[in-house]
Structure 1
Amino acid sequence: MPQSLASLLVHLVFSTKNREPLLQDECRDDLHGYIGGIVSDCGGRLLRAGSVADHIHLFISHPRTLAPADLVREIKIGSSKWIKERDKCLSAFHWQGGYGMFSISPAHREKLERYIGNQAEHHRVVTFQEEYRRLLTLYGMEWDERYVWD
């Protein structure tokens, strides 16, 4: 077969360093758009983004030619630099060191898009830590609580 094709849908989640509430409402749409550009430059497509003050969810059609860790690195480095340049008060901004990336069936696409779009409402009653533990359990991941948070 001369053409290589792939359908790799992923849900990517990560927080600000120490879950500090630094992502302000007025910059989130621009941040999501900027991250969409990074993903596009890497050969993927950002399908949906949602964030609250201390973390972000990204639904991505992952590029077939790039390792997951490399895409996350590009997103974190590029968006962190953008945040620091946009607001000099955030010159010490950092994302957490780790992340969660989960494969998504095309059959679950709409449900995930709704979930990501409803982050503000969702986090009125659920903390990031509670949500992240639930996601890890839902996706059958094993983790050590000592190494999940930074």
Structure 2
Amino acid sequence: MAYVKIWVHLVWTTKNREPILTNTQRKLFFPHIRENARSKGIYLDFIDGYLEHVHCLISLNADQTIAKTVQLIKGESAYWYNRNLRKGKKLEWQDEYFAVSVSESGVNAVRTYIKNQEQHHKKKTFQEEYDEFMQKYGFSKFPG
């Protein structure tokens, strides 16, 4: 048996960064994403986001890949949102996403960072957050 725990901080945006995830919708949507992940054997430790993006802290096991995990979470969540929460524009996700590893000692800091995204983005725009991620993690391009 393999014993594996790989923490990953994921971030993805709505298509064209459309600000459609209202506070009321997020309160229903994020618990659904967590439950859907659980039903697929994905350990989603923490989730939050704001109008145009989502942050997740997940732990991968030995037979999971980042790409497949993101595909499972994003695909079903957009479908569910559009059937159950849609109030205007259809929710579509950008194809791209951020995924960065998190050390065991950094898990609590990432949880704190993800928590209360609405308050966080009263001080900093998503574009500013995006630019910081790009620089901090040495990414050269993340369209959107």
Q: Give TM-score, length-normalised by structure 2.
A: 0.91
Partner residue of 2:20? Answer: 22
Shift of 1:87: 3.0
The answer to whether the 8 Å contact 2:47/2:56 transfers is yes
Give the CA RMSD over aligned residues. Answer: 1.6
Partner residue of 1:143? Answer: 140
The answer to whether the 8 Å contact 2:25/2:85 transfers is no
**Residue correspondence of structure 1 range 4-19 to structure 2 within 5 A:** 4-19=2-17
Deviations 1:16-61 (Å, cap 9, x if unpaired)?
Answer: 1111111011121321112112322332211111111111100111
State the distance in 2 between where 1:135 and 1:64 align: 27
Shift of 1:130: 1.4
The number of equivalent residue pairs is 144
**Residue correspondence of structure 1 range 48-127 to structure 2 within 5 A:** 48-90=46-88, 92-127=90-125
The answer to whether the 8 Å contact 2:4/2:62 transfers is yes
Partner residue of 1:37? Answer: 35
- The alignment-based identity, stated in percent, is 30
Alignment gaps of 5+ in structure 2:
none
- Aligned counterpart in structure 2 of residue 46 of structure 1, from 44, 47, 54: 44
Q: Secondary structure at the match of 2:87?
A: helix
State the distance in 2 between where 1:25 and 1:88 align: 13
Indicate how the Cα distance of structure 1 residues 66 and 84 shifts in structure 2: closer, same or farther if over 3 A, else same.
Answer: same
State the distance in 2 between where 1:75 and 1:103 align: 18
State the distance in 1 between where 2:130 and 2:105 align: 22
Shift of 1:68: 0.8
Structure 1 stretch displaced more, 33-42 or 114-123: 33-42
The answer to whether the 8 Å contact 2:10/2:98 transfers is yes
Alignment gaps of 5+ in structure 1:
none
Spell out structure 1 runs of 4+ moving beyond 6 A.
Answer: none
Shift of 1:88: 4.3
